[in-house]
Amino acid sequence: MKIVSTSIILFLSLLGAANSFVASPCGNLRRGFTTPTQLADASSFVENAKTVASSIHSLQGQTIVVKYGGNAMTSPELAQLFCEDVATLQKMGLRVVVVHGGGPMINAMLEKVGVESTWEGGMRVSTKEVVDVAAMVLCGTVNKDIAGGIVRSGGRALGLCGRDDGLLQCEKLWGGDDGSIDLGNVGQVKVVNTDLVNDLLDAGITPVIAPIGMGCKGADDEAIVYNINADVAAGRIAGELKAARVLFLTDIAGVLDKEKNLMERLTCDDIAGLIKDETITGGMIPKGEWFFLRVVWLFSWIYYFDPVD
């Protein structure tokens, strides 16, 4: 029996059934071998439901961090299904944190207001003008649409950005191997206000976090507004929360080799080499670097998948 609805994208990813990369604490990345469609074709609905229920039950009371971006964000249908998934996971007892991007929306607004932006090493060079636009888009329409969608789906959610109650406190991030490239007001998260996040989770509320931060409290740049890469922000938040699962929901298939074939296994050394030889480029660089660093926080599982694969 084929399941045509994609509303189980989060359920299947939690099972490792999505087309994903999975990282274990020992340092290897491996690819999940079963796609949602294959699972749906190969099993009955009842069998799938039993498997999903068993997996979700094992995660009751645990924290799940979802980085939300890609096609699921730009497609109204997938956006609605995502919000329904979050609401359902809440009702099943999971503590869900959403960290979202919004690159296409930022690009559209930058073009509309006539502000140019460039990229270095997969990071948007963020002048004050660029950050002003990014903050307006991410903390405004995008953030509230996601939080509102979860509420309309029967869940509880509160939209936040990293400046709220010192949620994401940053230092200026410099680009390049030698740290000589000025990326403008791009922030590297140094402090996460986990008390705020856990208080909301304890109250049954999903924090929906826009990756716009502030300088560290008491520092000279405390008043600076920082643009933070959403993948890196999600990873850091998950690490500080000691999350049981981290899901990267995007429209990128994964790490491809020079022949554009999906790489099924990676080590930390592989990632460093692939960045150096420019196999990993552009927006995949922050993702690869974060996977490299994730061993510091010793996650149980990390999933990276395309919900429309």
Write out pLDDT tens, residues 89-138.
999 899 999 999 998 899 999 999 999 988 887 678 999 999 999 999 99
Write out pLDDT tens, residues 62-81.
999 999 987 668 888 888 98
Contact 108, 123 (CB under 8 A): no
Residue 79 CA, chain-centre distance (Å), reads: 15
Mean pLDDT of 209-230: 97
**Per-chain mean pLDDT for the chain:** 77
Alpha-carbon distance values, 113 to 54, 145, 184, 207 (Å): 50, 22, 19, 30
- Reported pTM: 0.77
**How far apart are alpha carbons 282 and 44 in whole angstroms?**
41
